[in-house]
Structures are given as C-alpha cells and as structure tokens.
Amino acid sequence: MKKFLWAMLISFLFILGACGGGGDEEGGNGGDTEESSEEQTDGDVDVEAAEQVYEQSCASCHGGDMEGNVGPALNEIGSKYSSEEIQEIIHNGKGSMQAQNVEDQDAELVANWLASME
Ligand code: HEC
C-alpha cells in the first residue's frame, strides 16, 4: 500500500514537472530552483528535488522506478539502510557500484528520500 502511494505521488510529480517545467532538464546543476513545490514535501524530504537527483545520477543503473537494472532495486532500500548508510554508498561505492560524483547536499537529499522507501 505504501508503495502504491509512492507510485501515485511520483507520477503526480512527474506530470506536474512535465507541464510546469517546460524542458528545464539541462544536465548541469538544475534541481535547486523548484523551491515552491506544493504540498508534496513529505516531512523534511523535498521529493521533487530528490527525484531529479535520482533521475540524473541513479536511474540509469537502478531503474526509472527503482525497480533495478544493472544495480539492485531500491524501492525498499529504506528497510535495509539508513540515510547515512546510503550517503556513504553514494560517496564511496559498494561492491560493483562505483562512487558517484554527486554533491554532498544532493546525496543527502536523495539518501533521505530513498531511506523512506520501505
Ligand atoms: C553505474 C551504475 C550505478 C549507478 C549510476 C548507481 N548505482 Fe547504486 N549500485 C549499482 C550496483 C551494480 C550495485 C550493487 C553493488 C553490489 O552490492 O555489488 C549498487 C548498489 C547500490 C546500493 C546498495 C543496494 C543494496 O541492496 O545493497 C545503494 C543504496 C545504491 N546503489 C544507491 C545508489 C544511488 C543513491 C545512486 C545515485 C546517486 C546510485 N546507486 C547510482 C550500480 C549503480
């Protein structure tokens, strides 16, 4: 049930992003301009911004819906790792995953978000 809610939320954000953003996906440092996200901030996690980091840095290996691809599925990763542990994996790599070149604050954002997946 929780997963279903997340899926709803994520597709909702996706639609909003597609309409409102109008092609602001330039690969550079985009992401921190959308402070005004409506009521979707879940606790202190900015889901929309976290999703952008995920899309840019993680989705190619972990799948667009965290279903896994080259890397394992992350859709229940919060039941396995804390945000701190995920940040460590992002910065230092793990097994066959190399360290990712992600800004500290983005790593924290995406790790907080992933840690809520359980
Ligand atoms: C180049 C491909 C690649 C990218 C990009 C990548 N990963 Fe991974 N990731 C992997 C692989 C492969 C593993 C499995 C490593 C192992 O255990 O041997 C993994 C493992 C993980 C794990 C541990 C999963 C588990 O169940 O133990 C986490 C957490 C994780 N990745 C998070 C991320 C995050 C967050 C990002 C984006 C910032 C990211 N990864 C980007 C390939 C990738």
77 lines ligand 1 (CB under 6 A): yes
Nearest Cα to Cα of residue 86 among 64, 56, 106, 60: 106
CB count within 10 Å of CB 85 equals 14
Q: Given a cut of 70, is residue 71 above it in pLDDT?
A: yes
80 lines ligand 1 (CB under 6 A): yes
Specify the ligand 1 atom closest to the Cα of 114: 35
| pLDDT value for 85 | 98
Q: What is the pLDDT of residues 3-30, one digit of tens each?
A: 766 676 666 666 666 655 544 554 545 4
Q: Given a cut of 50, is residue 39 above it in pLDDT?
A: no
| pLDDT value for 41 | 47
Residue 86 tokens read as: 């995920």
Out of 61, 79, 114, 117, mutate this one to test ligand 1's pocket (max ligand atoms within 8 Å of CB): namely 61
Contact at 8 Å (CB) between 102 and 90?
yes
Out of 67, 82, 97, mutate this one to test ligand 1's pocket (max ligand atoms within 8 Å of CB): namely 97
Q: Given a cut of 80, is residue 47 above it in pLDDT?
A: yes
Q: What is the pLDDT of residues 82-96, one digit of tens each?
A: 999 999 999 999 999
Please provide the distance, in angstroms rounded to a whole number, between the alpha carbons at the two ends of the chain: 11
Give the range among 35-44, 72-81, 85-94, 105-114 with minimum mean pLDDT: 35-44
